[in-house]
Amino acid sequence: MRTSKNITLMLIIACQLMIVLDASVMVTALPEIGRSLQLTTTNLTWVQNAYILAFGGLLLLGARLGDILGRKQVFMYGIALFTLSSLLVGLAQSSEFLLITRAIQGVAAAMATPSTLALLSVTFTEPKERSKAIALYSAVNGAGGSVGIILGGILTDLVSWRVGMFINVPIGIALLILSPRYLPKTEKASGRLDIYGALTSVIGMTSLVFGFIQASEKGWGANGTITPLIIGVILMALFILIESRVKQPITPLRLFANRDRTAGYLGRFLFVGGVFSMMYFMSQFLQIVLGFTSFEAGLVFVPMTAVQFGMMYVVPKLIGKFGNAKVLILGIIAAILGMSLLSRVSVDTHFFSGIIIPMIILGIGAGIVFIPFTTLGLKEVESRDAGAASGLVNVSHQIGGSVGLAILATVFGAVSQSSNPSKSEFANAVTASITGSALFLTSSLIVVVILLLLREKKSTTQSVLQTARAK
């Protein structure tokens, strides 16, 4: 029995690691991909965004699909599609084919990912073993991004960036062979899929991101910029209207009625938008400006990642002593400090003091914030909305990275003003972009302070007044 459960856990962890890795495995390979497929720095953002937008945008629909068709079945459908699309990405000979297959990968990930945690909960029912399984699952979720950056660098240097996609194929086949035997079945629920809500949100968000990317290359006044931005705004407004009227929405708007949850979603969205964009631009800065190999660029992120995971052991104690809101604010302030120091990079930057130290400070801040953000996103959620709230935490994480990268790509394009900038021009554009990342983190801080800290002060004032009146 225990052996069967261990194999089930291994299958779930392998799936989640494969999907998380693919969100970052190409980051350190992007300069090589750009050279081989003739993509500019701003257009390279689509290698990430095609995957992340489809993944994040369809995540809630994937969760609902699992409820209706069964988690095990949807998990296997997702893995089969992910395996096939990974093979096609690795075989891509044109940028258009690469981006289309990356988007299909994102769709597959949105199908498989929601089922993993549900299958884990069904398998591990005893509280102690469930907590251990979830801890391992969470560790893989957090470590996967950094492992992907390093792995992508190694494979790009030693063989080819394509191998990062090809390794998914044997893993996916193994999952498909073992899953029917070891994964438990889950009950199916009746209901309908919110197709219109899913389509308007994904197409609307993609249109907005496309508009920002176009602005970096053609300018804000071009028809190719204005039209997709307008379409994106209209579709997102239509999405909100649909969600307010449909009986079974993929995003129940009542989740935003709680200010704590809103702070968790919006604050996380802005924070990830800043950090993910920094990783994208810093990886290219290290290779193009400082001359690092893909592997060396990946290793630069190791100290930041190590500190980030180290903080996860400290954060629960800090929250127990100072409270969720104050710890979250402390973490964001530390991240802003690290990002601000990092935004001063140039062609003459001293590696240790100008890059490593700021990234360690940023890692401390990032290590602090995600537990409080997750806690806020799930705070006081009704049982009927538990799945949607959990999904919305993941959506804000994925879409935040995509939108942040799209917006800051316009900053990069505006500063570099060239499809083939010199090292000095490239460094200046990266500096401006990372300054934008610092502004994203500052916006996250402002949101959290307004929605959490000021609310706490208001509650304290009301309590004092009520006490005074009672006397």
Per residue in 372-424, pLDDT (tens digit) is 888 888 788 776 676 677 778 878 888 888 889 889 988 998 888 776 788 99
Structure tokens at 341: 């120091």
pLDDT computed for residue 43 by the predictor: 77
Measured from the Cβ of residue 221, the count of other Cβ atoms closer than 10 Å reads 8
What DSSP string runs through 392-456?
HHHHHHHHHHHHHHHHHHHHHHHHH-SSS--HHHHHHHHHHHHHHHHHHHHHHHHHHIIIIIHHH
Tokens 């003459």 sit at which residue?
348
pLDDT computed for residue 214 by the predictor: 81
DSSP symbol at 184: P
pLDDT computed for residue 464 by the predictor: 43
Which H or E run includes 196?
helix 195-218
HSE-CB for 268 with a 13 A CA cutoff: 26
Tokens 């402390």 sit at which residue?
330
What is the mean predicted confidence (pLDDT) over 100-105? 94
**Predicted confidence band at 292 (pLDDT cuts at 50, 70, 90)?**
very high
Angstrom distance (rounded) from CA 50 to CA 127: 38
What is the mean predicted confidence (pLDDT) over 164-192? 85
- Check: pTM over 0.85? Answer yes or no: no
**Predicted confidence band at 62 (pLDDT cuts at 50, 70, 90)?**
confident
Closest CA to 404 of 250, 242, 275, 258: 275
Residue 229 or residue 41, greater confidence = 229
Measured from the Cβ of residue 307, the count of other Cβ atoms closer than 10 Å reads 18
Backbone angle region of 70, left / alpha / beta, with phi > 0 → left and psi within -120 to 50 → alpha: left
pLDDT computed for residue 138 by the predictor: 63
- Burial code (b: 16+ CB inside 10 Å, e: under 16) for 37-55 equals bebbbbbbbbbbbbbbbbb
Residue 102 or residue 121, greater confidence = 102
Q: pLDDT per residue over 349-379, tens digit each?
A: 999 999 999 999 999 998 888 888 888 887 8
pLDDT computed for residue 457 by the predictor: 55
Mean pLDDT over the full length of the chain: 84
What DSSP string runs through 92-131?
--SHHHHHHHHHHHHHHHHHHHHHHHHHHHHH--SHHHHH
Q: pLDDT per residue over 118-171, tens digit each?
A: 677 677 777 777 667 766 776 676 556 667 887 888 888 888 889 989 999 999
For residue 414, which amino acid is it? A
Closest CA to 104 of 116, 90, 118: 90
Closest CA to 199 of 385, 48, 54, 81: 54
> Chain centroid to CA 5: how far?
29
Closest CA to 417 of 259, 177, 243, 219: 219
| 33 contacts 26 by C-beta, under 8 angstroms | yes
Q: For residue 42, is pLDDT > 90?
A: no
List, in order, residues 6 or more apart from 326 with CB less than 8 Å away.
Answer: 453
List, in order, residues 6 or more apart from 248 with CB less than 8 Å away.
Answer: 64, 191, 192, 194
pLDDT computed for residue 455 by the predictor: 63
Q: What percent of the chain has pLDDT over 70?
A: 90
Angstrom distance (rounded) from CA 303 to CA 301: 6
- Burial code (b: 16+ CB inside 10 Å, e: under 16) for 163-183 equals bbbbbbeebbeebeeebeebb
| 316 contacts 353 by C-beta, under 8 angstroms | no
